[in-house]
Chains A and B, each alone.
Chain A
Amino acid sequence: MTSATTTPNVPSAPNSPAAASAAAPARRAGRGGRPSDRGTGPGAWLFLAPFGLFYLAFLLGPTIWMFVASFFNTSLVHRGLGSFAGLDNYVEMFSRADFWSSLWHTLQFTLYTVPPLVILAFVFAVLTNRLQRGQWFFRLAFFLPFILPSATISLIWVFIFTPATGLFASVQSLLGFTPGSGILADPKSAMVGVAIATVWWTIGFNFILYLAGLQDIPRELYEAAAVDGASTWQQIRHVTIPLLRRTTTLVILLQIIASLKIFDQVYLMTNGGPGISTQVSLGLITGTAFTDNRIGAASAASVLLFIIIVAIAVIREIVERVAARRDQEA
Chain B
Amino acid sequence: MRVRTPLGSAGRRPVGRRTLLGSTAVLGASAALAGCGGPLGAGLVGGEVAPETLVFWNLFGGGDGGRMQDMEKVYEKAHGGSSSLQATTFAWGNPYYSKVTLATVGNQPPDVAVAHLTRAKPLWDGGILDPISEDDLASVGLKTSDFNEKAWSAQVTDGKNIAIPLDTHPFVMFFNHEVMDKAGLLESDGSLTDLSGVDTFESALEEIKGVTGSEALTSANVSETATPWRLFWSLYNQYEDATPFLSDGGAKITVDEDIYTDITARLQKWVEKGWLNRGIDYAGSQTQMATGKAGIYLQGEWEISTFQSIEGLKFGMAPIPTLFDRPAAQADSHTFILPKKDRTPEQLTQALGFIKSMLTESMTWAEGGHVPAYLPTYDSAEYKKLTPQSDYASAAENAYYDDAAWYGGSGSTFEATVGAQLALVQQGSTTPEGALSAIRGQLQTYLDPPSPL
A→B interface (CB under 8 Å): 6, 8, 14-17, 19-20, 23, 26-27, 30, 73, 75-78, 82-83, 85, 88, 92, 96-98, 135-136, 139-140, 143-144, 147, 185, 208-209, 211-213, 215-217, 219, 274-275, 287, 290-297
Output the nearest chain A residue to B27 by Cβ-Cβ distance: A147
Output the nearest chain B residue to A17 by Cβ-Cβ distance: B6
- Interface pair B5/A23, CB less than 8 Å apart: yes
- Interface pair B97/A291, CB less than 8 Å apart: yes
CA distance A23 to B24 in the complex (A): 28
Quote the shortest CB–CB distance from B442 to chain A (angstroms): 8
Q: Is B240 positioned at the interface, with any CB of A under 8 Å from its CB?
A: no
Contacts of B15 in A (CB 8 A): 139, 208, 211-212, 215
- Interface pair B17/A76, CB less than 8 Å apart: no
Q: A15-B7, A292-B407 known; A76 and B449 CB under 8 Å?
A: no
Output the nearest chain A residue to B28 by Cβ-Cβ distance: A147
- Interface pair A290/B10, CB less than 8 Å apart: no
Contacts of A96 in B (CB 8 A): 445
Q: Which of B1, B7, B95 has a CB less than 8 Å from the CB of A212?
A: B7
- Interface pair B406/A293, CB less than 8 Å apart: yes
B→A interface (CB under 8 Å): 1, 3-8, 10-17, 20, 24, 27-28, 94-95, 97-98, 101-102, 105, 126-128, 223, 406-407, 413, 420, 442, 445-446, 448-450, 452-453
Q: Which of B10, B28, B101, B127 has a CB less than 8 Å from the CB of A216?
A: B10
CA distance A26 to B1 in the complex (A): 11
Known pairs A19-B4, A293-B453, A294-B449 / 20 extra A-B pairs, C-beta < 8 Å: A8-B1, A14-B6, A20-B5, A27-B3, A73-B449, A77-B101, A77-B453, A78-B127, A78-B452, A135-B13, A208-B15, A212-B17, A215-B8, A215-B15, A216-B4, A274-B223, A290-B98, A291-B95, A292-B406, A293-B452
Output the nearest chain A residue to B448 by Cβ-Cβ distance: A92
CA distance A20 to B10 in the complex (A): 13
Output the nearest chain A residue to B127 by Cβ-Cβ distance: A77
Contacts of A20 in B (CB 8 A): 5-6
CA distance A77 to B450 in the complex (A): 14
Q: Tell me if A's interface is mostly helix, strand, loop or mixed.
A: helix
CA distance A215 to B10 in the complex (A): 9
- Interface pair B413/A293, CB less than 8 Å apart: no
- Interface pair B98/A77, CB less than 8 Å apart: no
- Interface pair B97/A147, CB less than 8 Å apart: no
Tell me which of B4, B14, B20, B126 has the highest count of chain A C-beta atoms within 10 A of its own C-beta: B4
Quote the shortest CB–CB distance from A110 to chain B (angstroms): 25
Quote the shortest CB–CB distance from B395 to chain A (angstroms): 30
CA distance A308 to B3 in the complex (A): 37
- Interface pair A297/B449, CB less than 8 Å apart: yes
CA distance A219 to B17 in the complex (A): 21
Contacts of B28 in A (CB 8 A): 147
Output the nearest chain B residue to A287 by Cβ-Cβ distance: B94
- Interface pair B6/A15, CB less than 8 Å apart: yes
Output the nearest chain B residue to A8 by Cβ-Cβ distance: B1
Tell me which of B24, B407, B449, B452 has the highest count of chain A C-beta atoms within 10 A of its own C-beta: B452
Q: A73-B449, A88-B449, A293-B101 known; A23 and B4 CB under 8 Å?
A: yes
Quote the shortest CB–CB distance from B270 to chain A (angstroms): 25
Q: A14-B6, A15-B6, A290-B98 known; A143 and B450 CB under 8 Å?
A: no
Quote the shortest CB–CB distance from A72 to chain B (angstroms): 11
CA distance A291 to B94 in the complex (A): 6
Tell me which of B6, B24, B27, B102 has the highest count of chain A C-beta atoms within 10 A of its own C-beta: B6
Output the nearest chain B residue to A23 by Cβ-Cβ distance: B3
CA distance A290 to B6 in the complex (A): 42
